[in-house]
Amino acid sequence: SLLIRQFADLSVNDQAALAQAHMAMPHHAAPTLRRAIQGADETLCKNACQIVSLAGDFDLFPALIKAAEDKKHRCYAAVAAAILSLASRVARDLADWAAGVRTAHHDPSFARHHLLVALEQAMARFAQHHRKEILDAFLLLAPIENRTLNRILHDPNHPSHAALVTELKTTNDAGIIERFVEMIRDTEAPAAALQIIAHRSDEPFVDTLLNGLKRPVSVRALHNMKRLNRVAWLE
């Protein structure tokens, strides 16, 4: 607890060394970090979140989600930042891995699965917490075939449907956009997804979409375009 409390006062090098030591022996400090994340002491919580983010400790991700869902938590900003930091880290590792750049020591798809399990459970409880950072982290990591993502898009009555659709209409994250427009090739693409594709007319989104529709355009993409009554970016 003393090291966690004093973490912000350490030099950058010492912070990095402590984070590396934690990842070398994660089980030693994990219980203390978990209590700090979920406790009422703001200093301990903020520093614990920073340690977890710096170390890339994905095992403590469920503890961050639990703290984020607590509406009375006094350190929500730090918890939310740590959630997005870890999700972004995995998203970058996945992109690098797909490009043949092995920045991660292990296949990041295993880390994505671990994080998605916690995020999917939190999305089912969205009506209770309405935490945007949980939604953003979910969209950063969920592949287009993800059952939870498709269930939400197909069901207008799902607690997170409206928030998820709004986010997909406005997000500027290149990774989310790139994966989302892949739905144009899915014969069972949710109507809500196609409506978002038809609705957006901002240049980054349209560029990504049209780059994916180069000749020859797939029959699936043509089928989905025929399902649309109005396309803002064509107009």
89 has pLDDT over 80 = yes
End-to-end CA separation in angstroms for the chain: 60
Residue 67 near residue 75 (C-beta atoms within 8 A): yes
More confident of the two residues 215 and 168? 168
pLDDT of res. 104: 66
Instruction: State pLDDT tens for residues 186-223.
Output: 888 999 999 999 999 999 999 999 888 888 888 999 99
Rounded CA separation 209/193 (Å):
13
Dihedral pair phi/psi, residue 111, rounded to 5°: -65, -40
Q: Quick one: residue 184, left, alpha or beta (phi over 0 = left, psi -120 to 50 = alpha)?
A: alpha
Residue where the block lists tokens 């917490």: 129
- DSSP assignment of 153-204 equals HH-TTSTTHHHHHHHHHH---HHHHHHHGGGGG-TT--HHHHHHHHH---HH
Instruction: State pLDDT tens for residues 19-35.
Output: 999 988 888 899 999 99
Greatest alpha-carbon pair distance for the chain in Å reads: 63
pLDDT of res. 84: 97
Rounded CA separation 37/15 (Å):
18
pTM, 2 dp: 0.91
Sign of the Cα pseudo-torsion (83, 202, 190, 158, in order): positive
Tokens of 50: 């920073």
